[in-house]
Amino acid sequence: MSVSEHVPSLSSEFVSTPSGYRALRAQAPLVQVTLADVDTPMWLVTRYEVLKAILVDPRFVRDATKLSGQEGPSIADQMVAAYGLPPEYRGYIGTLVLSDGPDHTRMRGLITRAFTARRVEALRPVLRRVTRELLEPLSAKGEAELLEEFSYPLASTAVCELLGIAEVDQPRVKAGIMDAISGDPERLVPAFKGMVEHCKSLIESRRRSPQDDLVSALLRVSEEESDFGETQIIAIVALLINTGIMPPAHFIADAALALLDHPGQLARLRGEPGLLGTRAVPELLRFTSSVPVGAPMYATEDVELAGVRITRGEVVVPGLLAANHDPGEYSDDAPRLDVGRELLGSGVGHMAFGHGPHYCIGAALGRIQAEVVLDELFLQGRDPKLAVHRDALEFVARPGDGMHLKALPVRF
């Protein structure tokens, strides 16, 4: 397939709009585009089965340095630059997300030894308690802004609890987290530096006095593995903050909005609460796909895939939202929210957490958090409604990551 001389540039709004992918998907399973804030042309994967195949294909890697002769900054470096992070912090970014092959498998295995299902499940009662503590005063006053007053504080608390940050330190750490994920370089850079220094202090504290938390568990792994040290632990903390706060917080808001937009589906969920964890949460993950595109991947050799020729060194970007709305996988009702939908096939039946070796390591925590929150928000006697007209909701663009709700005001 020859590359068109005209490569469309996709806006952040386009990337976050499911219907926008229809024409691209009809054109080809992979379409060459550019994304906002990234100049390099890349192949956007638009179809579910093709994306599933690429995500387990060892010929595609995330680490651009594995391509000899590769010139210019990688897509990841361009994204880091777009956020305004100075290059000296690059060592704390991408330990797991941007590694591949045996290195990635080994690193993921080491992290999984600390990030156990037991440790994540143990957070469920904590999340239930914190959710109620946050919602009760908001319900009492009759109104809330669900992102600022609820979703972000809850997601931040979950990460702080997982890491073992003392309750007295959590307000300061949470404020730093919000600055770190703000996208504003004037807030982000000093906050990231402060996060690194706090993490170093936390590591030193856990060396002296281990606790039942993730940092202590990672330190135990570090004692057994010579190439797994402080830098890697800080990188994992950075990864948790990057992927464990903003995406879950926005998924909560996106899921709540989706249910408010579909009162018939909300009524069904209330009538069949058993659907929540088994079908409704997976379907809401598919439907909203709060992270619309995945991390870029590089072809290590020329590849012919689904009738498209990808040249060595070219970039492929997973269209997670596009795949999750592919009628080839979900039939013609893919655009419809159905809280009773049974997602079939291998894996979890959707691409919201990716697939294959880079499947989101925090997926279990995200699902538990969603189950607890949606239960407390909608199924325990509360009846939130939008406090503004639907068209008055504002969205903000984030580099390479689509559009996100700026606020979700509700009344009870």
2 within some domain: no
Helix axes 185-208 and 170-180, enclosed angle (nearest 10)? 140
The reported pLDDT for the residue numbered 77 is: 65
E strands within 126-239? 143-145
199 within some domain: yes
Tell me which residues of the chain have a pLDDT lower than 50. Answer: 1-4
CA 132-133-137 angle, 5° bins: 100
390 within some domain: yes
Give residue-wise pLDDT tens across range 131-155.
999 999 999 999 999 999 999 999 9
84 within some domain: yes
301 within some domain: yes
Say if CB 336 and CB 125 are below 8 A apart.
no
The reported pLDDT for the residue numbered 400 is: 65
CA distances from 198 to 177, 203, 208, 224, 238 (A): 11, 9, 16, 24, 12
237 within some domain: yes
Q: What is the CATH number of the domain that holds 178?
A: 1.10.630.10
3 within some domain: no
The reported pLDDT for the residue numbered 3 is: 43
Give residue-wise pLDDT tens across range 31-61.
999 887 777 899 999 999 999 999 999 999 9
Q: Which domain holds residue 282?
A: 9-411
Rounded Cα distance between 241 and 288, Å, is: 21
Residue linked to tokens 């697939």:
355
Say if CB 93 and CB 75 are below 8 A apart.
no
Would you give the distance in Å from CA 236 to the centre of its chain? 15
Rounded Cα distance between 32 and 8, Å, is: 8
Number of domains in the chain: 1
4 within some domain: no
